[in-house]
Structure 1
């Protein structure tokens, strides 16, 4: 993996993270394929298990993820993903975000989801997921709608987490001077 593939990840409170991403259009094909490669390289380097295009400054409905073991990567690229169904059963899982590095919180979401998307070759696909993959899919699709995991926790926890993150960022910028 070459360093020139790595994209800068936008951090909270970048306005791009709060904007609704536009669908990938037919003419976006070659650009989206190259972007997906760069997003995967960026995600692995971070390291993370998912990354949405808005997190790298691209307001497109594009997600990359890989919840497999490090020694056996299974990257997944989803173009224009949409949740078709979600279980009534709920699951709580600790989530973090590459746009809020170092911050984690327990988030309750549907335990299982069914997602439709297009692969890079244009074919329509569906995936049914539970456990970590279901959480990751929901988290990344949220990013495409300008929603962050902090929007899914209590206002008190959200304020504490964001305050802590901003304080850490301020300290980092002071140390860099």
Structure 2
């Protein structure tokens, strides 16, 4: 059974930091795998569709994107959970879409945020394999939201 971790809340300094890149030596390590498992378990426990390592007090560039319908996002599309290490958004579409967002670090608050409809991104797997992909719609929104966490930005700063 994976560990459910506490989630940092708005106002805590960890959420303001720019997270450090995961080092080459940390890739494919037991530590990184356990971090990802704990992040995933914590996200599921709280009905999240994504989570960033800083939200569980680890200032590292690791996010999980796991869109699926749940009580917080009943219309979310179903996708396999993706663990992204050192994610980089390479390109964003000019077309932006307004959509409702919430955050495990800002409970009970939601708002409309404009995000790029489509993004191109590059990330590493836990094993260190480079992946380049294009995401669109809700999964693209989740990545943008979680990458913001890695840069010390909360969604509430993007409203209006």
TM-score if structure 2 supplies the norm length?
0.90
Matched, 1:115 2:115: no
- Between the two structures, name the one with larger relative contact order (CA 8 Å, sep ≥ 6): 2
Query: Which of 81, 91, 100 is the matching residue for 1:94?
Result: 100
Q: Which one of 11, 14, 19 corresponds to residue 12 of structure 2?
A: 14
Following the alignment from structure 1 to structure 2, what is the Cα–Cα distance between the partners of residues 69 and 49? 9
Q: Distance in 1 between matches of 2:68 and 2:6?
A: 24
**5+ unaligned residues in a row in structure 1: which ranges?**
155-177
Return the alpha-carbon distance in structure 2 between the equivalents of residues 32 and 103 of structure 1: 31
CA distance in 2 between partners of 1:87 and 1:43 (Å): 28
Distance in structure 2 (CA, Å) of the matches to 1:25 and 1:130: 29
State the distance in 1 between where 2:34 and 2:8 align: 19
Q: Cα deviation per residue 1:116-154 (whole Å; 9 max; x = unaligned)?
A: 000111100012111100100000000000011011113
In structure 1, the residue corresponding to 2:63 is in which secondary structure?
strand
Bigger radius of gyration: 1
Map of 2:41 onto structure 1: 41
Distance in 1 of aligned mates of 2:103 and 2:144: 13
Q: How many residues align?
A: 151
**Which runs of no fewer than 5 residues in structure 2 stay unpaired?**
71-77
Deviation at residue 69 of structure 1 after TM alignment: 4.5
CA deviation after TM superposition for structure 1 residue 68, in Å: 3.1
8 Å CA contact retained: 1:55, 1:99: yes
**Structure 2 counterparts to residues 59-98 of structure 1, below 5 A:** 59-69=59-69, 74-98=80-104
C-alpha RMSD of matched pairs (Å): 1.3
Q: Which has the higher helix share?
A: 1
- Alignment TM-score, normalising by the size of structure 1: 0.82
